[in-house]
Structure 1
């Protein structure tokens, strides 16, 4: 049986998606986990600790942008006819106002308020829109698919360009080491991905302090050079940026793509909302991150004005020769932290996609007992490692990778803006025209950035587009196949209410104990029960229909975790609910089922699972190709017993082949 979403014909709760399946686990773990409290989620630390954590995790990516953003923005101008005062001030103005409009206005002031029970990110925003609409919308689903797919493209590019750009600083310390830049980068990245298996909870406590020092270094270097040339403060005047765009019509489009590198990582403000909360993220940005970034960019501009020879790498040239090794070490540490944050974000995104039925089940391991967000997904980890390694080897330098970077981020930002407009409109906060007018300035700016990045498709921009396209096809094939499979199974199903009434006069032999029959649809009889009656002619003295539902909210509240309904003297129904940011754990949730009224003996209970093996049988064409992909993905999906955590030694599986 495959992960399934309740079709519209079964009239599900509009706040929920039913995508259960089949599963198992060890009886000792069952007894232990049932007594354990669930892992905590959301902010639980003090405000200062959360703010420090946000500095390390939320802003790790955007904090490494000064290493390459200003350098890449200068490159098109320098290649044309050198660089002059007006051009430097114009580029600085564009960088500063991009940070103000995209990060401060869009994300910090507005988007952080659009949370789903404290959670953010493109999937959380999608669920908000879906709930506001009140029905399934294929266009909205397509936006969520594209946004998620582009995020995975960004998750591959960020570690590659961040770490590579930092390690390249050793060339200034010792030029003879340039041939070791790529090998050293590969080693650092390999170690980073290998340690994911054991979790990063222990070393994560260092992320905040290290990144805090990093931002202080950025600000200090910037202030030092601004003091030597305070004229760069004129860049706060947006007219300098506008004049640059008007007077550089030929290269302005290319420059915009490079300027956008300054805000890569801004999406993390929204995606990590549930981990730290709105106030710590806002305070960290306004009190430290934003001032440090602006000061550093202004300092780089002041250095270039004072010494045009530093235009090739103004960031590392800011430090005196004696302090350069320290700066390279700090930059490397900061980029590793930024890469780690993106990897963790990819794990969270994948888990949410699985729970919403957009990806097949994959093995999820919790690496910290007290934090549900600390997870490790082996399949995603090794896929990311392969992609990152290939990018470093294929492109060889951060400048080459810069051409590929940006498309995924700008695409995700544009999709986020569209979803926000739909949410504000559908939730009744503003009429459609009003929502569009409010978002129009940001949308126009983001579309300009997206268009400027699309120009670089041939120079490497095809990479995130290709990755995003592959991921989008995979997610669409899985969602589509799941819908088709459940719809066909539903046509042949037996209504649960009539079945329970008919079984009052059954001639089947009754055996002691409790049988849990897992069902993706709480309104029909599980096929595993029908097959068991047909072939074995036995029925347990207590039969419980067990359905696991994925809510359209990040986390289920304790009171909504489980519900139990007694259908007759012999039959009962349990529904277990998990948020889309939770890992379904049936063993632990059975404690909540007991509190809801279910009575059973663990030692005399058996779980019956129905496995459906999908077989592509349609007419040749694109639909048939998607069906074949779905069938392949269903075979590669993680064992449901491990995914749902059900007692492994109390499982009976019954299988069937279903044509789609």
Structure 2
């Protein structure tokens, strides 16, 4: 078998590829070949569990990112003091010590979940700098074969690998769990649905956070203007929300620098006011650090205490944003900003409000604004409104990030992703999603009108995401980190039990607004699953009906087709082999360009693929046809819409491949002798010149547009899924050429119908 034949047998093909890859590496190692064969192995970064650029950036850049993070990440959790006590004591304070019980709950909840869980554990589970539910899923997919699309190639290990561990009980436990996941289709589906649900809940947070934050801040104006109606406050909030979404197109970088000073001032204000109230009213509330007050609180209030946890959990809203938005920054910068400013300011604010409430129990419904010293009310009101606007930024940015990840892994319909910063990777803006989020925020604010109802819905979304994150994190601890089992058990018992307790509490208010995030998430999950399900089935169809190597030879020898000048790029999603649409094309257009490259856009379950490892080429026999297969590999944070840059990079890498391939075929004397060309460089020069000549004649982009319909024996459910649901989504979204910015003047679409 020639080194360049595309095998019909996927197993033989994989083994052969690995052999050729090893040969190529060994050959270049011996002759000191091009630097491009020195592959960037990601395993050290993953095993070290540090962010993508945490180690690379100096302290100056890290501190700049830490400052930026205030304007993007902490607005949500930072503005929680606006409404936590009011939501927790919805029916008023029944016993003086209840204040200490709730303060103790708030103190330990913030310390356990945002600080301990997220800052010191979850952030280390980033996928090479990227965070969010899909980052956890991608880590698991990369370590265990739980992905549902069979597009793996042996060479993928070159850009994403894990080092081998010495035998141990932890390794045995990890291997057992890995085997269970890989051998169970139900487990793979469950893992995917869990990830989709977590993603949809983050998107739900992106809707509810702006609503509750802005509405609660604007509502404070009633302290000075009691004559203002509820309608005026609601419509003022809606106007602010619309403006907020309009500035998203400027990007996280500019938004972060604009908002960061305001949030820093906000933290200084709430921390300072907290200290003032603490010493002025009741410094003895410091005894709430004793968890005994939590026990006493539950003994006194029983069922009511459990229900009130739905208000306490609002003190940690936005904690997930630290993880979802870490791709906009670095792990180190987020840890610095949280530990040095955010956490101390929040603790001081809650202790100060508790001190105020011990002397003013009747003012609990307006705790925040009532506890502000009268001389600074208006400055504080202005900062509160500004901070509430910024609070929305955290989950909006997180929503963009997590949709970008799910999009790249084939779990979200095609939308345009705009990279807004050339300086920092991971900062993105998605126009369609931004518009839909704005409409949803306006609808929720206009429909619910009060922070109490929105708070009931908000709590469910927040705790659901946290619980799902913990579930995936436990898998990573056991299977990838190989953490000591005692620590895993401790995490499950302490963090897991607390989160489940909060989840049970917020679900109690399902009929009081709690149904909203669940209904919203069900809709998002349905859309994502429909898209992913048909995407997988379409890929498997192409895999089953691909043009085999033998069939391709028969087609090229039996058909009377002509060769036309130029180079054609034929796009498809199939990684292994030649897509069936090519045969359909050749039957209708019996002509081939002088050089043909089959390009498949492939997503790897990693955050970024090094540019020198972007393209993976194979040559299709017979060689004189000049036909190549190319897998363009992307991580889920890589920019796809590179325009002419993509074409230029691919063609340059094709020439490099031809040169490398020539070194592996030095012994092919027959062809060289026939052309009177020296064996050392003959084939290389001829083939490179052929590609260059084809490029000069013109490059054409052929895009396969596959229409999918339900097969005749599929049943009514299959018809609804494919003919109506999937095709409706597809018709209303961007096409392949729009996503990759293929030049219109050089674009030709080839259509074919698949029956699934």
TM-score (normalised: structure 1) = 0.89
- Does residue 194 (structure 1) correspond to residue 246 (structure 2)? The answer is yes
Match of 1:57 in 2: 72
- C-alpha separation between the residues in 2 aligned to 1:158 and 1:108? 21
- C-alpha separation between the residues in 1 aligned to 2:568 and 2:641? 18
Residue among 188, 195, 203 paired with 1:144: 195
Q: Is the Cα contact below 8 Å between 1:152 and 1:467 reproduced in 2?
A: no
Match of 1:605 in 2: 699
Q: Is the Cα contact below 8 Å between 1:517 and 1:526 reproduced in 2?
A: no
Give the secondary structure class of the aligned counterpart of 2:458. coil
- C-alpha separation between the residues in 2 aligned to 1:276 and 1:199? 13
Match of 2:371 in 1: 318
- Does residue 309 (structure 1) correspond to residue 320 (structure 2)? The answer is no
Give the secondary structure class of the aligned counterpart of 1:544. strand
Match of 1:403 in 2: 456
Displacement of 1:620 after TM fit? 4.7
Give the secondary structure class of the aligned counterpart of 1:75. coil
- C-alpha separation between the residues in 2 aligned to 1:566 and 1:471? 41
Match of 1:592 in 2: 649
- Summarize the Cα distance change of 1:165–1:607 in structure 2 as closer, same or farther, 3 Å threshold: same
- Summarize the Cα distance change of 1:491–1:134 in structure 2 as closer, same or farther, 3 Å threshold: closer
Residue among 570, 573, 577 paired with 2:633: 577
- C-alpha separation between the residues in 1 aligned to 2:714 and 2:698? 47
- C-alpha separation between the residues in 2 aligned to 1:269 and 1:603? 51
Q: How does 1:3-402 map to 2 (within 5 A)?
A: 46-76=61-91, 78=92, 82-136=93-147, 137-179=188-230, 180-199=232-251, 201-228=253-280, 229-402=282-455
Q: Is the Cα contact below 8 Å between 1:193 and 1:385 reproduced in 2?
A: yes
- C-alpha separation between the residues in 1 aligned to 2:641 and 2:551? 30
Q: Is the Cα contact below 8 Å between 2:545 and 2:579 reproduced in 1?
A: no
Q: Is the Cα contact below 8 Å between 1:518 and 1:610 reproduced in 2?
A: yes
Q: Is the Cα contact below 8 Å between 2:699 and 2:746 reproduced in 1?
A: yes
- Does residue 530 (structure 1) correspond to residue 583 (structure 2)? The answer is yes
- Higher mean C-alpha displacement, 182-191 vs 127-136: 127-136
- C-alpha separation between the residues in 2 aligned to 1:191 and 1:571? 52
Displacement of 1:215 after TM fit? 0.6
Give the secondary structure class of the aligned counterpart of 1:584. coil
Displacement of 1:94 after TM fit? 0.2
- C-alpha separation between the residues in 1 aligned to 2:324 and 2:94? 38
- C-alpha separation between the residues in 2 aligned to 1:457 and 1:602? 65
- Summarize the Cα distance change of 1:548–1:619 in structure 2 as closer, same or farther, 3 Å threshold: closer
Residue among 721, 730, 738 paired with 1:642: 738
Residue among 649, 654, 660 paired with 2:750: 654
- C-alpha separation between the residues in 1 aligned to 2:293 and 2:346? 19
Displacement of 1:492 after TM fit? 2.2
Query: How many residues matched?
Result: 622
- C-alpha separation between the residues in 1 aligned to 2:549 and 2:747? 22
Displacement of 1:630 after TM fit? 1.3
Q: Deviations over 1:433-469 (max 9, x none)?
A: 8634433210110001111000011000000000000
Match of 1:471 in 2: 524
Q: Deviations over 1:15-46 (max 9, x none)?
A: xxxxxxxxxxxxxxxxxxxxxxxxxx957671
Displacement of 1:589 after TM fit? 3.0
Displacement of 1:164 after TM fit? 0.4
Q: Is the Cα contact below 8 Å between 2:566 and 2:696 reproduced in 1?
A: no
- C-alpha separation between the residues in 2 aligned to 1:504 and 1:176? 86
Q: Is the Cα contact below 8 Å between 1:216 and 1:292 reproduced in 2?
A: yes
Higher-Rg member (1/2): 2
- Higher mean C-alpha displacement, 535-544 vs 579-588: 579-588
Q: Is the Cα contact below 8 Å between 1:168 and 1:178 reproduced in 2?
A: no
- Summarize the Cα distance change of 1:515–1:268 in structure 2 as closer, same or farther, 3 Å threshold: same
Give the secondary structure class of the aligned counterpart of 1:175. coil
TM-score (normalised: structure 2) = 0.78
> How big is the alpha-carbon RMSD for the aligned residues of Structure 1 and Structure 2?
2.3
Q: Is the Cα contact below 8 Å between 1:90 and 1:244 reproduced in 2?
A: yes
Q: Is the Cα contact below 8 Å between 2:73 and 2:393 reproduced in 1?
A: no
Give the secondary structure class of the aligned counterpart of 2:199. helix
Displacement of 1:432 after TM fit? 6.9
- C-alpha separation between the residues in 2 aligned to 1:308 and 1:585? 58
Q: Deviations over 1:469-505 (max 9, x none)?
A: 0011111111111112222233222125752586367
- Higher mean C-alpha displacement, 125-134 vs 579-588: 579-588
- C-alpha separation between the residues in 2 aligned to 1:13 and 1:182? 60
Q: Is the Cα contact below 8 Å between 2:71 and 2:255 reproduced in 1?
A: no
- C-alpha separation between the residues in 2 aligned to 1:619 and 1:457? 37
Q: Deviations over 1:77-120 (max 9, x none)?
A: x1xxx443310000000000000111111111111111211111
Q: Deviations over 1:536-573 (max 9, x none)?
A: 21111111111111111111112222233333231112
Displacement of 1:375 after TM fit? 3.0
Give the secondary structure class of the aligned counterpart of 2:228. helix
- Higher mean C-alpha displacement, 53-62 vs 567-576: 567-576
Q: Is the Cα contact below 8 Å between 2:197 and 2:525 reproduced in 1?
A: yes
Q: Is the Cα contact below 8 Å between 1:408 and 1:464 reproduced in 2?
A: yes
- Does residue 447 (structure 1) correspond to residue 504 (structure 2)? The answer is no
Q: Is the Cα contact below 8 Å between 1:528 and 1:610 reproduced in 2?
A: yes
Match of 1:34 in 2: none
Give the secondary structure class of the aligned counterpart of 1:575. strand
Q: Is the Cα contact below 8 Å between 2:571 and 2:599 reproduced in 1?
A: yes
Q: How does 1:475-494 map to 2 (within 5 A)?
A: 475-494=528-547
Any unmatched runs of 5+ in structure 2? 1-8, 16-51, 148-187, 656-690
- Summarize the Cα distance change of 1:514–1:505 in structure 2 as closer, same or farther, 3 Å threshold: farther
- Higher mean C-alpha displacement, 414-423 vs 192-201: 192-201
Q: Is the Cα contact below 8 Å between 1:526 and 1:610 reproduced in 2?
A: no
Q: How does 1:490-505 map to 2 (within 5 A)?
A: 490-496=543-549, 499=552, 503=556
Give the secondary structure class of the aligned counterpart of 2:354. helix
- C-alpha separation between the residues in 1 aligned to 2:102 and 2:392? 27
